[in-house]
């Protein structure tokens, strides 16, 4: 099933989107919002499935052509946004950039931070930033949405609570990170509002690409229209989604609609090296911090700047037939203007 | 105005509570939930004020005797829970306990972490913990609720967005903190669900005690029926609430219903010393970590243990006439049982 949220008020209106993303139909009579659907998933999902089948068969009453720009993030806000960092190649590179070693324990104990879920950006909404000096970066990631998760679940149990999958742009302000991490309380100002892909999909939509709690497809990122990376999201994810959800729930219950992110998708070389930029024949990356570090390693200097006002990032994922699964996150950075 | 939330579904039912906490009346016809009230505060608060006046005059139709145990936290869940640490005596003591110095910058740049807001505990709900080995602690704090806050507001502007005040028990698992802070991403498992006072009040209810964006009254904490502390919340709060809200909003918008906490209330001695436990004639503390550190300083050894299963903490605040303002957080620690 593919679900999305039409922009409307704070929580939008739930719609179903056809598998090929061309058509849509309201589902507001079944559940007014995605938050309400996920709170009652067992009860509402069979009815949603029926309408989704009708939509794909061209038989859904009231169906309309989908305009992705009318969509908000599937959950325009959530009570719980926790982002892991499960691709350790990313962790290794961003730490190297600030001269910090990666402890060995990181291979066994997931990194995760609590993010702000009160005002997500829409998938095509501008990223407002105060200053280019903040080191504006994107982070291409995958995230899952859960229903109610009991405290202290095992990863095996956690897997049953993963209901939806989507993409994320976890906007990061690199210039603010070292100062915040030095304070010891984790990210705060360095992680402004994230944006999610216009479409959220149930795991079965991914077919064989959803295996072992991971998405086995490349995540495609373009910067100002140029291909920036297409790293594989499956093989190098050291902790899968059920493990990340179990980590988040170790000492507390998670409320329905909790979003748990994978961290920035990143592939090392087969020999353990940090991979290569697209310009050097590699698969590239899904954030600027990594390519800057690798440029430094390969060429002695980071030549790619962080994002400037007017720069645009596009994040999407295609199936093996080249069809977009989640629609595209496509955002421009603009200078914040007091309103 | 005094507001509260009757337990009912995920978000409860909004009620008004009389100034003396004896009577209550539903406000669900004005706004079904506190979240919905705060999202439309300008429109609904005048109507709420009228009913609140009637309630205090004994003229509100449908009024009933208040049973505090029927109340959830005023916001049973929120999209944004950010907790500052504005009492630097607390910061200094807990860092001393883990042999970490407090940087000088902490006097100018607030500490703040993002907490999980998806499932707050009710004010009298048990604190479920997996193991006493986790170092179960309470933290008595004050928090404010905002309406929609624009990005990059000044502290002066932020003050206008503070609509409600309440108390918090920011439950902490001390044993998990050093490991999490060492990872650099901040607290996560070490900060399970918080609980809030049964009543949230508008700033005007505090009269002279709300000044300079701080609450100038002692916060009273009892542990297993014994007085544990009554530190003054006003004088030693280094960053006031408008400053904390502005810090939270520096790089992003805050959605209505955002909760921003003060951090653990703590008083140093007039000479800058770390204060004294109640047993030593001091005002005491509002968390165990501090008293344990001070015992070590004064007596060479921490004799107060962290909370054990069956222990009970009570957190409340009285006005200058000895009347409870917010009702009491009163929680017992119990061993988590898989359900």
Please name the residues in contact with A337: beta carbons below 8 A apart, sequence gap of 6 or more: A128
Both B20 and B96 in one domain: the answer is no
Both B162 and B294 in one domain: the answer is yes
DSSP labels, B198-223: S-EE-GGGGGGGEETTEE-SBEEEEE
Most A CBs within 10 Å, among B252, B253, B259, B264, to test the A interface: B252
Residue A263: pLDDT over 90: yes
Is B31 in contact with B40 (CB distance < 8 Å)? yes
Query: Residue A138's pLDDT is what?
Result: 98
**Subunit contact A253:B193, Cβ cutoff 8 A:** yes
Both A63 and A163 in one domain: the answer is no
Residue B125: pLDDT over 80: yes
Evaluate whether ipTM surpasses 0.90: yes
- Residues B251-299: tens digit of each pLDDT: 999 999 999 999 999 999 988 889 999 999 999 999 999 999 999 888 8
Domain boundary among the residues B13, B45, B70 is at: B70
Q: Nearest Cα to B221, choosing from B86, B94, B329?
A: B329
Both A19 and A96 in one domain: the answer is no
Which residues does chain B have within 8 Å of residue A336's beta carbon, measured at their own beta carbons? Answer: 151-152
Both B83 and B51 in one domain: the answer is no
Both A97 and A192 in one domain: the answer is yes
**Residue of chain B whose Cα is closest to the Cα of A136:** B251
- Residues B165-217: tens digit of each pLDDT: 999 999 999 999 999 988 889 999 999 999 999 999 999 999 999 999 999 99
Which residues does chain A have within 8 Å of residue B114's beta carbon, measured at their own beta carbons? Answer: 113-116, 186-188
Per the structure, the count of domains in chain A is: 2
Residue with tokens 């056809």: A18
Residue B92: pLDDT over 80: yes
Both A54 and A94 in one domain: the answer is no
Both B140 and B239 in one domain: the answer is yes
Residue with tokens 């949603």: A48
Query: Residue A182's pLDDT is what?
Result: 87
Residue B98: pLDDT over 80: no
- H-type alpha helices, A176-327: 177-183, 241-248, 288-299
Residue B45: pLDDT over 90: yes
Both B150 and B66 in one domain: the answer is no
Which residues does chain B have within 8 Å of residue A190's beta carbon, measured at their own beta carbons? Answer: 251
Mean pLDDT (whole number) for A63-83: 98
φ and ψ at B291, to 5 degrees? -65, -35
Q: Nearest Cα to A275, choosing from A263, A266, A288?
A: A266
Domain boundary among the residues B46, B70, B94 is at: B70
- Residues B51-78: tens digit of each pLDDT: 999 999 999 999 999 999 999 999 999 9
**Subunit contact B128:A151, Cβ cutoff 8 A:** yes
Task: Write down the mean pLDDT value for chain B.
Answer: 96
Q: What is the CATH number of the domain that holds A252?
A: 3.90.850.10
**Subunit contact B117:A176, Cβ cutoff 8 A:** no
Residue A244: pLDDT over 90: yes
Which residues does chain B have within 8 Å of residue A258's beta carbon, measured at their own beta carbons? Answer: 118
Which residues does chain A have within 8 Å of residue B10's beta carbon, measured at their own beta carbons? Answer: 39, 255
Inter-axis angle of helices B288-299 and B88-97, nearest 10: 70
Both B158 and B230 in one domain: the answer is yes
Domain boundary among the residues A13, A37, A70 is at: A70
Domain membership of residue B325 as a residue range: 75-335
**Subunit contact A119:B252, Cβ cutoff 8 A:** yes
Both A66 and A82 in one domain: the answer is no
Residue A261: pLDDT over 80: yes
Both A295 and A209 in one domain: the answer is yes
**Subunit contact A188:B113, Cβ cutoff 8 A:** yes
Residue B326: pLDDT over 90: yes
Higher pLDDT, A187 or A184: A187
- H-type alpha helices, chain B: 34-39, 41-56, 88-97, 155-159, 177-183, 241-248, 288-299
Q: Nearest Cα to B261, choosing from B154, B110, B160?
A: B110
Three-class secondary structure assignment of B295-316: HHHHHCCCCCCCECCCCEEEEE
């Amino acid at each position: 099933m593919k679900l999305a949220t039409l922009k409307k008020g704070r929580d939008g209106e739930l719609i179903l989107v056809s598998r090929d993303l061309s058509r849509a139909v309201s589902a507001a009579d079944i559940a007014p919002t995605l938050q309400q659907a996920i709170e009652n998933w067992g009860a509402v999902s069979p009815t949603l499935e029926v309408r989704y089948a009708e939509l794909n068969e061209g038989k859904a009453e009231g169906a309309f052509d989908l305009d992705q720009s009318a969509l908000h993030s599937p959950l325009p806000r959530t009570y719980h946004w926790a982002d892991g960092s499960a691709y350790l190649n990313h962790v290794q590179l961003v730490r190297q950039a600030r001269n910090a070693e990666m402890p060995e324990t990181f291979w066994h104990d997931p990194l995760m931070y609590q993010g702000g879920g009160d005002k997500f950006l829409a998938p095509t909404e501008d990223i407002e930033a105060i200053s280019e000096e903040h080191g504006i970066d994107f982070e291409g990631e995958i995230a899952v949405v859960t229903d109610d998760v009991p405290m202290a679940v095992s990863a095996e149990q956690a897997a049953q609570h993963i209901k939806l999958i989507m993409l994320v742009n976890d906007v990061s302000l690199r210039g603010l990170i070292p100062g915040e991490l030095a304070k010891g309380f984790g990210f705060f100002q360095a992680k402004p509002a994230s944006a999610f892909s216009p479409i959220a999909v149930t795991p079965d939509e991914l077919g064989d690409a959803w295996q072992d709690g991971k998405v086995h497809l490349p995540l495609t990122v373009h910067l100002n229209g140029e291909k920036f990376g297409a790293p594989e999201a499956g093989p190098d994810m050291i902790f899968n989604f059920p493990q990340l959800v179990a980590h988040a729930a170790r000492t507390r219950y998670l409320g329905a609609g909790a979003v748990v992110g994978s961290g920035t998708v990143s592939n090392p070389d087969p020999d353990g090296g940090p991979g290569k930029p697209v310009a050097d024949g590699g698969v590239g990356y899904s954030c600027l911090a990594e390519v800057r570090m690798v440029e430094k390693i390969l060429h002695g200097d980071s030549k790619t700047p962080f994002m400037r006002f007017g720069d645009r990032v596009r994040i999407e994922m295609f199936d093996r037939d080249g069809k977009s699964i989640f629609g595209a996150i496509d955002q421009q950075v603009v200078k914040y203007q007091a309103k």
